[in-house]
Chains A and B, each alone.
Chain A
């Protein structure tokens, strides 16, 4: 579970986040929409414990990310816009390496199982990542979080640059993870993908959460109209 209370972060005079309140429950997918510089990445980096807030609190499963960053990081799976893995290693070797760093030792078949669960074709497991598409790398990235048994997934622009098929596969995978009980926060520009995947949506503008709604309550077109209205005002 993610809980953000009155989170404020400023860089000099610029306000990145202002009194942000957000709660994402277990099994829920929350979509954070916003333009560049709206504060989406700052929110994610604060959740990751890489940025200390000026005020407010951030908790993962009721553990404070500022005071116990090492603890909360164990619970988090992070998938950036570009999952840059080690290109000279195969997908399987990358997964093995990242798991070992987390102190997890899996057999080869277990690792292959994780990759397959996350949608990477078996024939790609042993191929070097340098030959992978962006979507394939993203699947390995999710497999790393999955193998870690992450309870919270933070995704920063995950669908950016993906072809429609890969994007759809990602949606299916995220829904599957949520169904298994994961808490997912996804920052994105992609209104239609967010509307399609997420249970709830928040619109962030200049560090302020200007609107929060259930995705079932709006169509994709209505969401786009609403988003544009907030952005233009």
Chain B
């Protein structure tokens, strides 16, 4: 087998067309890695600056009423992940800035896509675009003729006569083409590693390793299947047409059809429905700004009883702060219910979409690629959850200051000092743990492995039916 692989590579290295295409493509890959890295670092720098600016504004507040500060709010930024320079996943459409304030959970804004002139699937030169769409095409063009040319030229007879077995021939040719794909992949990862040498951590290396594994498996599937078709079909055109058909089906048609179906099976409420339901549930709770509200009265009675006083003016604390927090707590429950439901639907959508990998390994590749590069929806949802948790801590601190900061009920003029605002912690994003990521994408990895075994078995058993003449 080694001799056949060596001979295949001798052909590749001596073919000027192939070398020209390879050099050109490698140049494009380098540019894509550079661009991705540059964009990520630029975004990271912009966000760090903005984050510092916003924090500076916050800690510079000399004095302000805590509840006014809750309305004033602050901003949190989704950190630009170094890994996502290889695959930006959903990041370009999900946005990266979120305003944190009292009474309301805002939506994330300022997505990259919303600021682009043209948004298209093939719009940006990204490493993942080249690795997922273009490299498999290159492998197909490299492999579709590999066995049929031997057959048509009559060399196959000579090879068999010299002792080569059809299975050896097909596997060797598969490995040759696969090796080419692996080298391109390795090239991307090495350039990426060199560019980020100082920032590499064991987690980044491990995630990149899993990223490499996913692509390696997918490239084996494409290479093996193409070489098998090249051996099985009587002419190369048929092998090429079959593989291009599969490529279109896997990369363009099926993911769209499947995503649309999954969205229908597990439907998210429309924005309008969602807002109406939230407002309806919210209206059943406390209104922190309405003292005549019945539920407010009930809370008032409870607090008065607790402090064993008869009126709000006798309370040693500011009841308005408690009221605002109670309003907030109720709002949080409403948010948990509705957003929790949305998260469940999104999780169901993800799981159903993952099962699409049974018929389409490209789906598994896309999932693992985004997942291991921390640019998938799981990471995004985790970020949103952390922001919401932060918002709750943030607003509670302000409400507690309003309630227990020394003012009496109805006193909206009492301000907190600068030391208090400095004591409010900044948002600190904790990256999603690798174990969580791994458990989310083990199925995709397993499906890629399953497909690889399937293709290997196809070569192993299908080779017996291949006609030499």
- Nearest B residue to A70 by beta-carbon distance? B163
Contact B469 A50 (CB under 8 A): yes
Interface string of B328-364 (1 = CB under 8 A from A): 0000000000000000000000000000000000000
Query: Mind listing 10 A-B residue pairs with CB under 8 Å?
Result: A48-B157, A50-B469, A76-B161, A78-B158, A88-B14, A97-B7, A98-B158, A101-B163, A102-B163, A103-B163
Known: A88-B10, A88-B11. A98 touches B162 (CB 8 A): yes
- Report how far A78 CA is from B3 CA in the complex, Å: 21
Contact A82 B469 (CB under 8 A): no
Contact A45 B469 (CB under 8 A): yes
Contact A101 B469 (CB under 8 A): no
Q: Is A80 an interface residue (CB 8 A)?
A: yes
Q: Is B406 an interface residue (CB 8 A)?
A: no
Tell me which residues across on chain A come within 8 A of B163, comparing CB atoms: 70, 73-74, 101-103
Tell me which residues across on chain A come within 8 A of B14, comparing CB atoms: 88
Tell me which residues across on chain A come within 8 A of B468, comparing CB atoms: 50
Within 8 A of A (CB), among B146-167: 153-155, 157-164
Q: Is A58 an interface residue (CB 8 A)?
A: no
A residues touching B (Cβ–Cβ < 8 Å)? 45, 48, 50-51, 70, 73-74, 76, 78, 80, 82-86, 88-89, 93, 97-103, 141, 144, 148
**Quick one: which of A50, A89, A97, A100 contacts B157, CB cutoff 8 A?**
A50
Interface residues contributed by chain B, number (CB under 8 Å): 20
Tell me which residues across on chain B come within 8 A of A89, comparing CB atoms: 7, 10
- Report how far A70 CA is from B468 CA in the complex, Å: 14
- Report how far A103 CA is from B15 CA in the complex, Å: 27
Tell me which residues across on chain A come within 8 A of B153, comparing CB atoms: 84
B residues touching A (Cβ–Cβ < 8 Å)? 3-4, 7, 10-11, 14-15, 153-155, 157-164, 468-469
Tell me the smallest distance from the CB of A122 to a CB of chain B, in Å.
Answer: 23
- Main secondary structure on chain B at its contact with chain A? helix
Contact B157 A78 (CB under 8 A): yes
Tell me which residues across on chain A come within 8 A of B164, comparing CB atoms: 101
Tell me which residues across on chain B come within 8 A of A78, comparing CB atoms: 157-158, 161
Known: A73-B161, A80-B157, A86-B7. 8 other contacts (CB 8 A): A48-B161, A70-B163, A80-B158, A86-B155, A88-B10, A88-B14, A100-B3, A102-B163
- Nearest A residue to B469 by beta-carbon distance? A50
- Report how far A161 CA is from B161 CA in the complex, Å: 24
Tell me the smallest distance from the CB of B17 to a CB of chain A, in Å.
Answer: 12
* Total A-B Cβ pairs within 8 A: 56
In this complex, the member of B160, B161, B164, B469 whose beta carbon has the largest number of chain A beta carbons within 10 angstroms is: B161
Tell me the smallest distance from the CB of A138 to a CB of chain B, in Å.
Answer: 13
- Nearest A residue to B3 by beta-carbon distance? A100
Tell me which residues across on chain A come within 8 A of B7, comparing CB atoms: 86, 89, 97
Tell me the smallest distance from the CB of B19 to a CB of chain A, in Å.
Answer: 12
- Report how far A48 CA is from B161 CA in the complex, Å: 8
In this complex, the member of B4, B11, B162, B468 whose beta carbon has the largest number of chain A beta carbons within 10 angstroms is: B162
- Report how far A89 CA is from B7 CA in the complex, Å: 9
Tell me which residues across on chain B come within 8 A of A88, comparing CB atoms: 10-11, 14-15
Tell me which residues across on chain A come within 8 A of B161, comparing CB atoms: 48, 73, 76, 78
**Quick one: which of B15, B154, B160 contacts A84, CB cutoff 8 A?**
B154
Tell me which residues across on chain B come within 8 A of A101, comparing CB atoms: 3-4, 159, 162-164
- Report how far A80 CA is from B3 CA in the complex, Å: 23
Tell me the smallest distance from the CB of B142 to a CB of chain A, in Å.
Answer: 15
Tell me the smallest distance from the CB of A57 to a CB of chain B, in Å.
Answer: 20
Tell me which residues across on chain A come within 8 A of B160, comparing CB atoms: 50, 73
Contact B155 A84 (CB under 8 A): yes
Tell me the smallest distance from the CB of A134 to a CB of chain B, in Å.
Answer: 13
- Report how far A73 CA is from B288 CA in the complex, Å: 93
- Report how far A132 CA is from B4 CA in the complex, Å: 23
- Nearest A residue to B12 by beta-carbon distance? A88
Tell me the smallest distance from the CB of A142 to a CB of chain B, in Å.
Answer: 12
Tell me which residues across on chain B come within 8 A of A48, comparing CB atoms: 157, 161
Tell me which residues across on chain B come within 8 A of A97, comparing CB atoms: 3, 7
Tell me which residues across on chain A come within 8 A of B3, comparing CB atoms: 97, 100-101
- Report how far A50 CA is from B466 CA in the complex, Å: 12
Tell me which residues across on chain B come within 8 A of A86, comparing CB atoms: 7, 11, 155
Contact B469 A51 (CB under 8 A): yes
- Report how far A73 CA is from B157 CA in the complex, Å: 11
Contact A80 B154 (CB under 8 A): yes
Contact A148 B162 (CB under 8 A): yes
- Nearest A residue to B149 by beta-carbon distance? A84
Q: What are the nearest 5 A-B pairs in CB distance?
A: A84-B153, A101-B162, A88-B14, A102-B162, A100-B3
Tell me which residues across on chain A come within 8 A of B157, comparing CB atoms: 48, 50, 78, 80
- Report how far A102 CA is from B469 CA in the complex, Å: 20
Contact A144 B158 (CB under 8 A): yes
- Report how far A225 CA is from B46 CA in the complex, Å: 94
- Report how far A86 CA is from B469 CA in the complex, Å: 19
Tell me the smallest distance from the CB of B274 to a CB of chain A, in Å.
Answer: 63
- Report how far A48 CA is from B4 CA in the complex, Å: 22
Tell me which residues across on chain B come within 8 A of A84, comparing CB atoms: 153-155
- Report how far A41 CA is from B56 CA in the complex, Å: 88
- Report how far A98 CA is from B469 CA in the complex, Å: 19
Tell me the smallest distance from the CB of A5 to a CB of chain B, in Å.
Answer: 23
- Report how far A70 CA is from B165 CA in the complex, Å: 10
Tell me which residues across on chain B come within 8 A of A148, comparing CB atoms: 162
Tell me the smallest distance from the CB of B301 to a CB of chain A, in Å.
Answer: 93
- Report how far A80 CA is from B4 CA in the complex, Å: 22
Tell me which residues across on chain B come within 8 A of A70, comparing CB atoms: 163
- Nearest B residue to A103 by beta-carbon distance? B163
- Report how far A3 CA is from B154 CA in the complex, Å: 25
Tell me which residues across on chain B come within 8 A of A76, comparing CB atoms: 161
Tell me which residues across on chain A come within 8 A of B11, comparing CB atoms: 86, 88
Tell me which residues across on chain A come within 8 A of B162, comparing CB atoms: 98-99, 101-102, 144, 148
- Report how far A45 CA is from B10 CA in the complex, Å: 30
Tell me which residues across on chain A come within 8 A of B4, comparing CB atoms: 101
